[in-house]
Amino acid sequence: MIREPALHRPHVVLVGGGHSHVQVLRRMMMRPWPEARVTVVLDTPVAVYSGMVPGFVADQYRASELEIDVVPLARLAGAEVVLTPAVGVDPPDRRIRLEERAPLAYDFVSFDIGSTVAGLDLPGVRERARATRPIARLVREIGTLSASFLAHAADRPFEVVVAGGGAGGIELAFTVRERLLAAARRAGVERALRITLLQALPEVLTGFPPSLAVRTRRNAAARDISIRTGAWVAAAEDGGVRLETGEVVPADSLIWAVGAGSLDVFRDSGLPLDEHGFVLTRPTLQTLGDDRIFGVGDCATLEDWPATPKAGVYAVRQGPFIADNLRRVVAGRPLRRYRPQPDFLTLLNLGDGHALGAKWGTSFEGRWVMDLKDRIDRKFMRKFQVLDDGGGTTSEFSRMDRTAMEAMVCGGCAAKAGQTTLDRALGRLRAELGAGSANGSVRLGLDQSDDAAAFATPRGDVVVSSVDWFKAFSGDHWLNGKVAAANALSDLFATGAEPRYAMALVNLPEDETPEAGAETLYQLLAGARSLLDEHGVALLGGHTTVGPELTVGFSVEGHPIGERLLTLDGLEAGDGLYLTKRLGSGVVLRGVMLGQGRGAWLQAATAQMVCPNRKAARAAVGAGLRAATDVTGFGLMNHLAEMLRASGLAAELDVSALPALPGAEELLGSGLRSTAHEANRRIAKAVRIEAEASRHPRLELLFDPQTAGGFLAGVPEARSDDFLGRLRDANVEAVRIGTVVPRLDDGAVATIGCRSS
């Protein structure tokens, strides 16, 4: 049979999750885009909607109400996610440089990365000011302002200086006042407060209708907010802000809300930049220097309209244009031309339920203006917030048909053959053909079910070997490679061996072009090398095939760390059972796959998965332990059962002690399961589950398949202090989840109880 050549699907990369790009993802969700592969590169999974930040400062909104978790939005749109900051772009090579990892290739790329704040390089400003960008950091840090205010001495006013007389600075001056006065009322204390707004230009709100500035001044005076124009800041000092005139304005807190500053991503790209370092774009939103690169929002300056303000309202309006133009450029069709609106509705939150507004050269104010702003902002946010505060799907997205997504099989170690399948095949093999160790050199082989094999060379050296691979769990192939390497190395660490050499085993998707396949292989191996090199493991080569799906793994070899290996059959009654790493990676990855998992949950899971169990293994060998394993695709309960059966013992487990990854309990509680979960749960037939434990929200963690999971060790009481001390010295956390006990009369491998609710 002659295979049809694979069709090239252009790779479109969205760098940043700003106000324009979330609209691209929303449109992809509503109208799928099979003609292209789309990847979103994010420095943080959560984008903050700038329009609602002043309301958050005034305690009118919860933080979650102004946040867009881009990860579930991207997954519902069919886009892959890379959670790593972009640090540069190389147009000739069509690659995006990423922080501490291999560059990412693209066919077309769009940047929506926002901006920083100008003037941070003035003396003392970066160290002493609360800058308004990145917005997420301001949101995280604003709570400390109230604490500083309440801790301030009552004998003089608490001085807040807001630098910047644009819309953002005006709103913050008003809303900070409301926040601090409300904090004092709640605390039942009296504190004097003085707020000063410094504007370098002759008037605040330059470029807005003059009547809006008049209303602003009148409302500021009514609230004892001082506005000083023509005040150029020269430096920030302890206790004050020094102006260029030499005057020092008292400041216990400085909020820096001056104009936008450019980020460094385009600095050495060779692309044309404006005088402030922003990339220049045409009306099609393509950069002047490269038609394959687009720029939207604050990070770009329109060549034909360079005076367009760096304001979120323009990024919102550019969203439909960039969404259309990316599809058009991939299809080779003419692009739409964006022209910034000459006038737009301005709404300024005063923090006390009132707002100022302007449109068509006139201004207005009142509670109704704030009500209007609130309705507009909430309507915008509903389009992009996939998950509610409890982790459930919001009504806007609950009607989506996820049938095709739910049919997808999980990747990672959740794609392993089931424990029952493996036991049956190996049991028959041993019974019919023997264990295969007749030559006498085998130390660990088919007659044991240990994590690795071991054999002695003719010279007497012991070699420990293992092979492990899995179906890719992410479209981020650098991450797939790194996690696969960590997973393979942990098999050797679990036997108390130090890996030295690795060989790659990769199956590339048959529907990829040779060019795309080469890029996938490069990303996989680069990700793996980043971890193998760190651990002194040499990648010697490997084998690559082509098939229906992407799989990646490694054959690894090494040598024992100590005089004896850690084995499954080394448990003794009375041993404490200690587990490193949290459980739940299987259900978290499943949740992310279905657009039901938060970006922060994905970050926590992947951060754990890329850390092999080297430190734990060294601690175990150093403390003289005998029994250990690593927890992977069969889940904690099955891997523990292997140890208990090999040792002829049982265990008592405390379900309340099981450590959980962020989001795992929520997802399991919603009924979500990894596709390997039910197969893993068959072990429950051999386990006693007490009534209280059966109702515990962490019970299902026992059966969740783990990818590159934790180190499980049996620790005699006499050695526990030594082992735990070594773990602490290595900054490795471990929890005691149970105790080894003699074999139970009914043959159950474990009793699962609940020490605390």
Cα gap 233→197, rounded to integer Å:
11
pLDDT-based confidence at residue 391 (cuts at 50, 70, 90): confident
As given in the structure block, the two tokens for residue 729 are 């010295």
Task: Name the burial class of residue 197, with classes exposed (0-12), middle (13-18) and buried (19+) by CB atoms within 10 angstroms of its CB.
Answer: buried
The answer for residues whose C-beta is within 8 angstroms of residue 18's C-beta and 6 or more apart is 47, 112, 113, 114, 296, 297, 298, 315
- Domain match, 318 and 387 both: yes
- How far apart CA 523 and CA 225 sit, in angstroms, is 55
Tell me the pLDDT of the chain averaged across its residues.
92
Q: Which two tokens stand for residue 658?
A: 């099981």
- How confident is the model at residue 430, as a pLDDT? 55
- Identify the CATH number of the domain in which residue 107 sits: 3.50.50.60
Alpha carbons 47 and 182: distance in angstroms, whole number: 27
Res 501 pLDDT > 70: yes
**What angle is formed at CA 701 by the lines to CA 393 and CA 630, rounded to 5 degrees?**
130
Strand locations in 225-306 (E): 225-229, 233-237, 240-243, 248-250, 253-256, 260-261, 279-281, 293-295, 300-302
Sign for the pseudo-dihedral over CA of 74, 381, 388, 407: negative
Distances (CA, A) of 73 to 17, 53, 531, 575, 728: 10, 21, 30, 46, 39
pLDDT tops 70 at residue 439: no
What value does the mean pLDDT take over residues 483-496?
Answer: 95
Nearest 5°: CA angle at 451, between 446 and 455? 55
Look at residue 416 and tell me if it is in a domain: no
Exposure on the CB side of residue 297, measured as CA atoms within 13 A:
26
The verdict on 628 and 698 lying in the same domain is yes
Domain end call among 526, 548, 565: 565
Tell me the mean pLDDT in the region 739-753: 95
Following DSSP, what letter does each residue of 490-531 receive, concatenated?
HHHHHTTEEEEEEEEEEEEETTS-HHHHHHHHHHHHHHHHHH
Q: Exposure of 390 by Cβ count < 10 A (0-12 exposed, 13-18 middle, 19+ buried)? A: exposed
Q: What percent of the chain has pLDDT over 70?
A: 93
Q: Domain range holding 620?
A: 568-757
Distance CA 188, CA 167 (A): 32
C-alpha 446/C-alpha 450 separation (Å) is: 9
Same domain, 66 and 23: yes
Listed range (69-78, 95-104, 455-464, 503-512) with the worst mean pLDDT: 455-464
Average pLDDT (339-349) is 93
Distance CA 443, CA 437 (A): 9
3-state secondary structure of 577: strand
CB 78 within 8 A of CB 32: yes
Q: Looking at the domain assignment, is residue 162 inside a domain?
A: yes
Looking at 193, 226, 259, the residue that finishes a domain is 259
Tell me the C-alpha distance between 655 and 555, whole Å: 34
Active-site annotation holder among 299, 410, 413, 754: 413
Distance CA 493, CA 615 (A): 9
Position of tokens 């050499």? 501
User: Token match 């609602």: residue?
Assistant: 52
At residue 12's C-alpha, the angle toward residues 96 and 137, to 5°, is: 60
Claim to verify: residue 638 and residue 688 sit in the same structural domain = yes
Q: Is 410 a catalytic residue?
A: no
If asked whether residues 561 and 573 sit together in one domain, one would say no
Query: Which run of H or of E encompasses 465?
Result: strand 462-471
Same domain flag for 174 and 227: yes
In this structure, are 741 and 630 located in the same domain?
yes
pLDDT band with cut points at 50, 70 and 90 for residue 429: low
Write the CA distances from 637 to 253, 668, 709, integer angstroms: 54, 16, 13
- Rounded Cα gap, residues 317 and 312, in angstroms: 9
Are 210 and 308 members of one domain?
Answer: no
pLDDT at 2: 47
Number of domains in the chain: 4
The type of residue at 727 is: L
Q: Is residue 349 domain-resident?
A: no
Q: Is the pLDDT of residue 414 over 60?
A: no
The first and second tokens of residue 621, run together, are 């060998």
d(CA 213, CA 218): 9
Q: Which two tokens stand for residue 145?
A: 């302002």
The single-letter DSSP state of residue 286 is: B
pLDDT higher than threshold 60 for residue 322: yes
Would the pLDDT of 413 be above 90? no
Q: Strand, coil or helix: what is 580? A: strand
Give the span between the Cα atoms of 445 and 420, in whole angstroms: 19
The pLDDT tens digits of the residues spanning 232-256 come to 999 999 999 999 999 999 999 999 9
Query: Could you tell me the pLDDT band of residue 137, with boundaries at 50, 70 and 90?
Result: confident
Task: Return the residue matching tokens 């000083």.
Answer: 228
CA distance linking residue 357 with residue 365, whole number of Å: 6
| Residues 315 and 216 occupy one common structural domain | no
Cα dihedral 131/134/135/138 (nearest 10): -40
Q: Give tens-digit pLDDT for 190-204.
A: 999 999 999 999 999
pLDDT number for residue 427:
62
* Boundary (domain end) residue, out of 565, 596, 620: 565
The pairing of strands 627-630 and 711-715 is antiparallel
Return the structure tokens found at 225: 């907010």
Domain match, 106 and 245 both: no
- Which DSSP string do the residues of 21-39 spell out, in sequence order? HHHHHHHHHHS--TTSEEE
Residue 415 within any structural domain of the chain: no
Share of the chain above pLDDT 90, in %: 84
**431 falls in which pLDDT band (50, 70, 90)?**
low
Res 90 pLDDT > 50 = yes
Residue 419 belongs to a domain: no
Task: Identify whether residues 511 and 632 lie together within a single domain.
Answer: no
Residue 366 has pLDDT above 70, yes or no: yes
Q: Fill in the amino acid letter for 380.
A: F
**Residue 336 pLDDT > 80:** yes
451 has pLDDT over 90: no
- Greatest CA separation found in the chain? 94
Q: Examine residue 357 and state whether it is found in any structural domain, yes or no.
A: no
CATH number at residue 621: 3.90.650.10
3 inside domain? no
pLDDT of residue 428: 65
- 692-702 core/surface letters (b: 16 or more CB in 10 A; e: else): ebeebbbbbbb
Q: Would you give the DSSP letter of residue 300?
A: E
Give mean pLDDT, residues 311-327.
Answer: 96
- Listing DSSP states for 105-121 in one string gives E-SEEEE----EETTTT
Q: Would you say residue 94 has pLDDT above 50? A: yes
CATH of the domain at 444: 3.30.1330.10
pLDDT grade for 425, boundaries at 50, 70 and 90: low
| Token reading at 193 | 């407060």
Element holding 471 (H helix, E strand): strand 462-471
pTM value is 0.92
How confident is the model over 57-70, as a mean pLDDT? 96
Which helix (H) or strand (E) element contains residue 170? helix 167-187
pLDDT of residue 401: 74
Q: Which tokens is 233 given?
A: 């800041």
Helix, strand, or coil (residue 95): strand
1 pLDDT more than 90:
no
| Length of the chain (residues) | 757
Task: Say if CB 54 and CB 139 are below 8 A apart.
Answer: no
- Whether 423 is covered by a domain: the verdict is no
Residue 359 pLDDT > 90: yes
Same domain, 663 and 635: yes
Residue range 585-633, pLDDT digits in tens:
999 999 999 999 999 999 999 999 999 999 999 999 999 999 999 999 9
